[in-house]
Amino acid sequence: MLPDYSLIAWLLIVFSVYLTGVSKGGFAGGFGTLSVPLMALAISPAQAAGLLLPLLLVMDVFAVKAWWGRQAVAEVWRFVPGLFIGVAVGTLLFDSLSEQGLRLTLGVITLLFATYMLLKPVAKKPISARWALPAASVCGFTSFMAHAGAPPLNVYLLPRKLSKETFIATCAVTFAVVNVIKLAPYMWLGEINVTSAWASLVLVPIAWIGVRNGLWLQSRVNEALFYRLVILAMFLVGFNLIYQAV
């Protein structure tokens, strides 16, 4: 049986899933970060995260298939230990946060990442590979809490000066890995259940359309304009979540 959400909630969920799919397809990568905060305006953050994870796994299959073979394999392996650490920390802290606490945490993360995307700080010199572990640890934690692992990963990967295709492919494979790591803790904590699984199943076509559109949009749409619009939306949503929490 599907969750008894309002029409507005379902519209936000559908749009969020589509936006995540577009990001997974490689267009304006990282903007899937907005999905859980958007959904959390209408449903609880835990429900939003649990509903989205199975869909992320489906999208990962499409994205990895499209980009496989172009990833920086050494970088992905450097991330794996940190991803486990971040997910473990998120799992341990999850039960200590109330719904309002989760909403506040989500709002703060959203504002921080919107600020990062606005300023886009990039190191002038290539960053050392030893920063892969802390970057991946933060990525694992924020990904666990809000499926928002892109900004911490970008802080490390952008100064590594990878080609665009290698960057997108490396991100696609890394997020597939962290989402698989998150699956068991999500089920253990009850974030994924029979009801949320049905909702996720119904939304699979939206996820597929989003990924396909993301692949198509890469060379056809003004990414800079889209980038600015999503940053503005992230600021608005982040402030709204913090307002709801306090």
From first CA to last CA, the distance across the chain in angstroms is 33
Dihedral sign for Cα atoms in the order 71, 74, 79, 84: positive
How do residues 134-185 score in pLDDT, each as one tens digit? 989 989 998 898 787 877 887 788 778 788 788 888 988 999 999 999 999 9
pLDDT of residue 27: 64
Q: Which residues contact 74 (CB under 8 A, 6 or more apart)?
A: none
Picking from 206, 226, 230, 208, the residue whose alpha carbon sits closest to that of residue 217 is: 226
Percent of the chain residues topping a pLDDT of 90: 23
Place of tokens 């230990």: 81
Q: Which residues contact 96 (CB under 8 A, 6 or more apart)?
A: none
Q: For residues 237 and 244, what is the distance between their CA atoms, to the nearest angstrom?
A: 10
pLDDT of residue 137: 94
